[in-house]
Amino acid sequence: MSDSEQWVPPPGSWASSAARRRNMQAIKARDTKPERVIRQLLHAQGFRYRVAARPLAHLRRTADIVFRPVRVAVFIDGCYWHGCPEHYVSPKTNPGYWTEKVAGNIARDRDTDKNLAEAGWVVLRFWEHELSETCADKIAATVIARRATGANGKG
């Protein structure tokens, strides 16, 4: 497409313009700054974990940080994509699509939590705006407690 041609979104498209499409496609799905900082803090404390891994093989969903031996799955949720009650603001452009998209993400998150809990996992969810040090401390405390109780799911 040349510069003189104007991009027109196809009917039912989520993108209102070519610029918006590029902007939204550039947003990372993993390895965001909050995730990296929390992982660095945990690693510095001697914790080892899996990154962007499926806690349950049959469930096509990945957790940001997974401690498989003690069954702890950590999610660092983005305020926009997961509907943070403090920070989510519905967009002015194409609000119907985005409201439905975020509502679907929230429903999927609850379903993921339920499936993991039923399989004996502890699910920890944090918002991207929470202090990384606080998140890392809560994760570390949960993993240590699960190790101490032998909560490895092999019983």
Instruction: Give me the domain span that covers residue 85.
Output: 29-149
Q: Please answer whether residues 136 and 41 qualify as being in contact, where contact means their C-beta atoms are separated by less than 8 angstroms.
A: yes
What is the pTM for the complete model shown?
A: 0.81
Q: What's the pLDDT at 155? A: 42
Please count the structural domains in the chain: 1
Mean of pLDDT values over 30-53: 95
- 98, part of any domain: yes
- 22, part of any domain: no
Length of the chain: 155
pLDDT one-digit tens code per residue, 111-137: 999 999 999 999 999 999 999 999 999
State the DSSP string of 66-101. Answer: EEGGGTEEEEEE-TTTTT-TTT----SSSHHHHHHH
Strands, DSSP E only, in the chain?
Answer: 50-53, 63-67, 72-77, 122-127
- 44, part of any domain: yes
- 13, part of any domain: no
Question: In angstroms, how far is CA 103 from the centroid of its own chain?
Answer: 14
CATH number at residue 111: 3.40.960.10
Residue 37 has pLDDT above 90, yes or no: yes
- 42, part of any domain: yes
